[in-house]
């Protein structure tokens, strides 16, 4: 069963066929996923107030129904340290097609993973786990399972990654909280099952994992075309 707030967001997003990042992040936090602190600004005053409340450094991102892949249009700026840079960024992003606001988020650190779901014609909802960044693009290091996932599936997905070693801390890097990662996968599988009638695919890219938590840093929900 979908929560009313989630239904409202999905309904409103039908117009352009996908859920904008701030709305998608809202759904994920409603479902108990960890997300960075964020808010959306349209004016320099709003932007400065939000960034100070979150605490510099922050990330700024374009919010626009016309922009699905924000980095492709230089719509993401990480590590903003002061009002001046923030306001200059707002000025630039506000000229991008369909500008509906600038999302300002807390900077998060961690190992970048990807969690995704796709509604397969043959198998129904499929869940994907992969290493973020070049892990997915170059090495195609991913694990796939049919939803709903069992805890055993979640275990096997993690163990099946070629870069599995990175998760337990490699050459001095911090190990990842595997229990939090498993719980995130299970919760994600449940959310996809709840949404399978209306959703085509979901991408959490990246999810940043540390020794303490897994945080959904970017999320995109593509809706099914209306029949
Ligand atoms: P898109 O996938 O639409 O291009 P993202 O929101 O994923 O945009 O941002 C691009 C990259 O910027 C991410 O892969 C991540 O490396 C970095 N990034 C985005 N948001 C944050 C954040 N809150 N903290 C740290 N890094 C971030
Ligand atoms: Mg992304």
Per-residue pLDDT tens listing for the chain (227 residues): 888 999 999 999 999 999 999 999 999 999 999 999 999 999 999 999 999 999 999 999 999 999 999 999 999 999 999 999 999 999 999 999 999 999 999 999 999 999 999 999 899 999 999 998 766 777 788 999 999 999 999 999 999 999 889 899 888 888 999 999 999 999 999 999 999 999 999 999 999 999 999 999 999 999 998 75
Q: Is the CB of 67 under 6 A from ligand 1?
A: no
Pick from 179, 184, 176, 219: which is nearest to 199 by CA? 219
Q: Is the CB of 76 under 6 A from ligand 1?
A: yes
Q: What global pTM score does this model have?
A: 0.96
Q: What ligand has the least distance to the C-alpha of 103? A: 1
Categorise residue 156: left if φ over 0, alpha if ψ from -120 to 50, beta otherwise.
Answer: alpha
Q: What is the number of the ligand 1 atom nearest to the C-alpha of 71?
A: 4
Q: How far is the CA of 206 from the centre of ligand 1 (A)?
A: 7
Give the Cβ contact number of residue 61 at 10 Å.
Answer: 24
Give the Cβ contact number of residue 152 at 10 Å.
Answer: 9
- pLDDT of 139: 77
């Amino acid at each position: 069963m979908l929560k009313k707030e989630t239904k409202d967001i999905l309904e409103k997003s039908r117009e352009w066929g996908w859920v904008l990042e701030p709305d998608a992040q809202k759904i994920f936090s409603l479902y108990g996923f960890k997300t960075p602190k964020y808010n959306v600004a349209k004016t320099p005053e709003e932007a400065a107030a939000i960034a100070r409340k979150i605490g510099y450094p922050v990330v700024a991102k374009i919010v626009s129904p016309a922009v699905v892949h924000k980095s492709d249009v230089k719509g993401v700026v990480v590590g903003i340290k002061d009002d001046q840079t923030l306001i200059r960024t707002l000025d630039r992003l506000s000229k991008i097609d369909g500008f509906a606001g600038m999302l300002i988020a807390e900077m998060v650190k961690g190992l970048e993973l990807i969690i995704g779901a796709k509604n397969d014609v043959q198998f129904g909802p499929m869940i994907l786990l992969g290493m973020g960044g070049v892990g997915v693009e170059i090495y195609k290091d991913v694990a796939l399972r049919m939803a709903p996932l069992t805890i055993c599936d979640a275990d096997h997905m993690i163990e099946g990654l070629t870069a599995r070693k990175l998760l337990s801390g490699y050459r001095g890097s911090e190990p990842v909280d595997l229990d939090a990662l498993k719980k995130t996968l299970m919760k994600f599988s449940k959310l996809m099952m709840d949404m399978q009638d209306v959703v085509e695919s979901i991408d959490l890219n990246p999810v940043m994992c540390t020794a303490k938590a897994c945080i959904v840093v970017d999320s995109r929900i593509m809706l099914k075309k209306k029949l």
